[in-house]
Structure 1
């Protein structure tokens, strides 16, 4: 097996969003991730995985009935041989199933027990339902996404589910696994999307503490308040992105956009001029197509890139050269990231249907064909 996590076994209790994203990251980098799916074929209320399901790639699947005592016993058996588990149920659900940390860590003291929730295991909101939009709202992030005078706009579900949630849990899992490798004991990771989102806002919080960031939406350097850090429409109705913050990059923007002689652009950091300068830039960029601006500004120090759709991004020469996207199961998907020069990750295998590997995994646990038939007849497995 390839990847820096080769030799690590993770049991993933199937769910949606950030939990599977964490499982994907661990699997992408070499961990063997065994997903426990529901015996009725559904995963966390969603349809079964198929080969185009990016978040479910790279795992094996065993379908257990966790409402069955024998099904729960099988889950305990799996967790007893694993290095870590990840689960994304509401607080208390795993305890009611008989699969809580006290039970599993008593059986396997080196186990890293990763818990993914929106609000966290404790606090007044802990038992409430929620989604990404709610978590980033409470953490103070959503307020800052949007243009001046407009309502907050959620950035899809990148910040709470994946940045503050799944990626933070993956970091926690690897950190705790390293602690075990260094002689420590297993432990529980309480990964809350509210906490993770607050951490992601650390730089902005720091800027606010220093008095250089306003709570006024769309009025700051990085939130479309500044003319030199924004997107602009081109003549063909497409968009480009500009991030010319530093003086040398701003000077290059002026040069390539033909604005060197316009003295008003000398007022780069004068907030009172930002709106007027943005209007002038908008007029300039509407004068050429996106491809024409690419020919002028790509590979320069403007800090420029075309705004590409998911259909366009895999075809851009930079992404093609780096292999940023790969074909898996007949569809283009993002390649594993980051990259390692000594333990390079292989292209992940496509997602499998729920329960695809049930019998094979049970054989590895010591169950023979007759035992599998008995378990299936008892409703413990799919």
Structure 2
């Protein structure tokens, strides 16, 4: 049994892309026994990633869910599971014979997690889309970017991962908690639009309070404020500055050697202040500036690439990144003092654990042979 606070939890994952696998990765990282149901004959990975870290930490079985026998294999897994997670368009799981009504008729305690872009209903429910589309209608894309320029996609962090997979994992855990009193499972309908919208909650509060009154790129936290932005250093790298509070601003002034700068709270002075900060930063290399800020509360830090981040002293001490199968990647998070998570194993080849997993739930050698003959399993 795996270590971690979710040790003993059994999860069935119907393989998909990005947000649902991320949710399952989180559950697996924290100790859940996640079985990933891949195709019996794996197709080409759409992104060409042979060992996708999003698939780490769980076993894989290969099942042809287009056959009745394959569907029954998945239902057999779900009969013994606590959670099933799928990330298909609305109605697809039902057409496969693996929708929540069928699963709950056999295992009413199961938590059924569903990950979609738009949600299970509504005028766009059946439409195609990607992260950029979901965060666009959620109101999470429009505020991101420079003043006078077009919105900038925040990679696919806001929709796929933050508003999608992470929200789904949280929803599953909430449903599991509720099950301890009701004894019943339920459907968790996680929409990337709704998750991305949830991430903008504070913006709505600031707008109502008059704190977020400007257009894109003209506010406190969107690069409009010169004391909350990134600046290029002499060596073509960047530092991040977030000196909002008066004391932090004072430390930054000292670190940069600014002489009698205007008040950083006077918005009319922001253009002049931006020039002063940019000029001061451009005199130093990134690492030199970081060294000058060390030991102060100037809120000046290096802007690191994802590939540099593992070498930062803070991340090294904390073990924020780990090497799994030759790929350096983020370690499981958060931390638990009594039930720490173990380092996940590398992604498994699709279908490699089919025999082991099905034997565990009672399939005999003869059963497995018959399933292979029927083309139902790898």
> Is the shorter-chain TM-score for this pair beyond 0.5, marking a shared fold?
yes
| Among 265, 284, 288, the residue aligned to 1:288 | 284
C-alpha separation between the residues in 2 aligned to 1:78 and 1:149? 54
> Match of 2:216, SS?
coil
1:276 aligned partner: 272
Shift of 1:270: 1.7
Could you say if the C-alpha distance between residues 303 and 183 of structure 1 is closer, same or farther in structure 2, counting changes exceeding 3 Å?
same
C-alpha separation between the residues in 2 aligned to 1:62 and 1:43? 17
Shift of 1:214: 2.7
Structure 1 unaligned residues grouped into runs of 5+: none
**Residue 8 (structure 1) aligned with residue 4 (structure 2):** no
Shift of 1:44: 7.5
Q: What are the Cα deviations for residues 313-347 of structure 1, in whole angstroms up to 9, with x where unaligned?
A: 11111111111111111111110000011110000
2:143 aligned partner: 144
> Match of 2:142, SS?
helix
Worse overlay, 276-285 or 109-118: 276-285
Q: Give TM-score scaled by structure 1 length.
A: 0.96
Structure 2 unaligned residues grouped into runs of 5+: none
1:34 aligned partner: 35
2:112 aligned partner: 113
> Match of 1:146, SS?
coil
| Contact 1:7 1:32 survives alignment (8 Å) | yes
Could you say if the C-alpha distance between residues 32 and 253 of structure 1 is closer, same or farther in structure 2, counting changes exceeding 3 Å?
same
1:332 aligned partner: 328
C-alpha separation between the residues in 1 aligned to 2:329 and 2:286? 25
Q: What are the Cα deviations for residues 176-196 of structure 1, in whole angstroms up to 9, with x where unaligned?
A: 011112334100011000000
C-alpha separation between the residues in 1 aligned to 2:141 and 2:269? 26
C-alpha separation between the residues in 1 aligned to 2:34 and 2:44? 15
Q: Give TM-score scaled by structure 2 length.
A: 0.97
| Contact 1:42 1:354 survives alignment (8 Å) | no
> Match of 2:182, SS?
coil
| Contact 2:261 2:273 survives alignment (8 Å) | no
1:97 aligned partner: 96
2:170 aligned partner: 171
Paired residues in the alignment total 377
